[in-house]
Amino acid sequence: MSNPTEMTTPPLVVKVGERLGLSWRPPIYSQVHSVWTRLRQGRRNRPRWVINLAVAVSLKEGNTALRKLTCLLCVAVIATAMQVWTHDLPAADTTTTKPNVLLILADDLGFSDLGCYGSEIATPNLDALAQSGIRFTQFYNCSRCCPSRASLLTGLYPHQAGVGSMSSDEGRPGYRGSLQPRCVTIAQVLKSAGYQTAMAGKWHVGDRQPPTDRGFDDFYGFVRGYAVDSWEPRMMVRLPENRPRRSYKSGQFFATDAITDHAMDFLANARNTKAPWFLYVAYQAPHFPLQSKAEDMQGYPAVYARGWDAIRQQRLARQKKLGLTAADTTLTPRGRIPNLDVSQRLGSRTADGGNPPWNSLPADRRADLAQRMAVYAGEVTGMDRNIGRLIAELRSHGEMQNTLIVFLSDNGACAEWEPFGFDLQPVAHPTPGTGINGGTPGAPNILHRGDALAGMGGPGSLMSYGSGWANACNTPWRLYKHYVHEGGISTPLIVHWPSGTARKGEFDRRAGHVIDLMATFVEAANATYPQTAGGNAILPMEGRSLLPALRGELAPPRTMFWEHEGNRAVRAGNWKLVALHGGPWELYDIETDRTELKNLARQHEDVVARLSDQWNAWAERCWVDRRP
């Protein structure tokens, strides 16, 4: 055997052996080199199994000096793995073994809206995170703003947390409109583990219960409402109220930038404490009203003049090339119009009730719709630009290596309510902390022509993009936000943690759910999830940690459930049982038909009965009242 010290063993280990005057023996070297290799691959629970190895080898070897050497070698490897000695490993960039946690939530972002998920939209910073992290292909949210945020923050199904619908209190346990005393947030749990906690952006899980009442040390954003006018600074609030906040000169404020500004300020505050931190950045983008800085949307109008039919085809082709979707994935038919009454009023209703072919529209309508989508794309690019600012901030302080970054969306793309989209009026007298919260089905549609096209997305322009573009943003899945078919609940999920995984640029195809984030952060932070809090019994977590995925471990089978506005679903393994409000159960084999085009309910009535029973049992347990 050649001299093993010529290979990848750290020089420190070699020096220990030389100092003791002991020669390398193949059995000992092979054990130590195996340990070193596994450490470099990012395996967790390192100290435990390395110590066990040391004990086992020591007992096996009869020579006392050799036993000492083995133990010393293993101790050296442990110390190196913990970055006490830094040769041949990335330099330690944190004073604690607990990771920092950065949770980034987009608002109404479709499954295919990032470059790394098949989009033509420029998202270089998120694409880079994906390339050096993991992309999940089957991760789910709860189909709407409030329910998804409640589940994400608490690790419970939304009804258990009290937010089965939106923010109105309906007087029933699952539909109180705010987080209930029977749950705790990630911030509350990590705060008890020594973390500094902060949030910037959209709250939307309790109008009278701000983030600072739920474990966050600092907050900047809006507590009430589903959206803001991104050009209007008066909708934002800083909590606690006596804390410093940034001011902006006239014309300089834009909500995505301001949310990031304050998030970076919160990081600076946390660093002064020398404690690990948890930062939750919940962008308002790209939720309507669609608004964008001119530089972020540059070039997009020409892109979207191709129309939604071409964009859908191009996105699916990219997804197949990336390996995100199977090569035999079929593009779903154009999506249905969600509200036929609104489409009738606005003149967009079609004979078959579906989104119209792009080329069937008149030229002035196509120009208006292309500009609406261009503004949406600019808002996504602007969000990515700001995420790049956060990443640069982490790099400049040596924090990227041990920061667990998670990015996802709260629901599928928003089709409210028909193909042409609507236009809102600016809020005349904004209240700090309160965003836009009015109904939109009665809103008008403005057909912008000529010079008016250039003003779309700027100050005073508050609009949506309609169901045709939402269909494209959810490529290749069916339906949209509100629904629990794949287009309503499928989200891109990017996880990046160099210190926690050796997987880079890979897809992970296990099914996951936003309820999993609490369990993930609890495990990563070595925190304790409580049984009681404030004198109240706390419901146990429903989710599973994602850290086994980061370790490359196989996922055991699981069952997950959904209900929103009477739309309902259960997924068990590859089977998915799903129904529209008031409609019959549909059954799909997600392994072969994730586009939900081949309803197998009649062929597998036994599966329908079994999964329906499971859904009913879950609904009973979790205070779900809206049933067929």
| 360 DSSP 8-state letter | G
Element (H, E) at 267: helix 255-273
Residue 145 annotated to the active site: yes
Cβ neighbours for 616, distance < 8 A, ≥ 6 positions apart: 627
Residue 247 exposure: Cα atoms within 13 Å on the Cβ side: 3
Kindly tell me the number of DSSP H helices and DSSP E strands found in the chain: 18, 17
Are 590 and 571 in contact by the 8 Å Cβ rule? The answer is yes
Catalytic residue (one of 74, 145, 146, 473): 145
Angle between helices 255-273 and 363-396 (to 10 degrees): 10
Dihedral pair phi/psi, residue 247, rounded to 5°:
-115, 155
State how far the Cα of 331 lies from the Cα of 320, in Å rounded to an integer: 11
- The residue assigned the tokens 């779903």 is 332
Give the dihedral sign, CA 412/416/421/425.
Answer: negative
Are 147 and 164 in contact by the 8 Å Cβ rule? The answer is yes
Give the dihedral sign, CA 94/95/96/100.
Answer: negative
**Strand intervals (E) in 300-434:** 403-409, 423-424
Closest by CA to 462, choosing from 121, 211, 230, 306, is 230
Strands of the 586-589 sheet, one edge to the other: 559-564, 567-572, 575-579, 586-589
Vertex 606: Cα angle to 601 and 612 (nearest 5): 75
498: preceding bond cis by omega (within 30 degrees): no
Structure tokens at 444: 């008008």
Are 212 and 233 in contact by the 8 Å Cβ rule? The answer is no
Cβ neighbours for 550, distance < 8 A, ≥ 6 positions apart: 134, 495, 497, 500, 501, 503
Give the dihedral sign, CA 312/315/321/324.
Answer: negative
Are 157 and 150 in contact by the 8 Å Cβ rule? The answer is no
Residue 204 exposure: Cα atoms within 13 Å on the Cβ side: 28
State how far the Cα of 377 lies from the Cα of 308, in Å rounded to an integer: 13
Are 517 and 185 in contact by the 8 Å Cβ rule? The answer is no
Structure tokens at 603: 């062929």
Are 278 and 197 in contact by the 8 Å Cβ rule? The answer is yes
Catalytic residue (one of 159, 204, 485, 496): 204
Give the residue numbers marked as catalytic.
145, 204
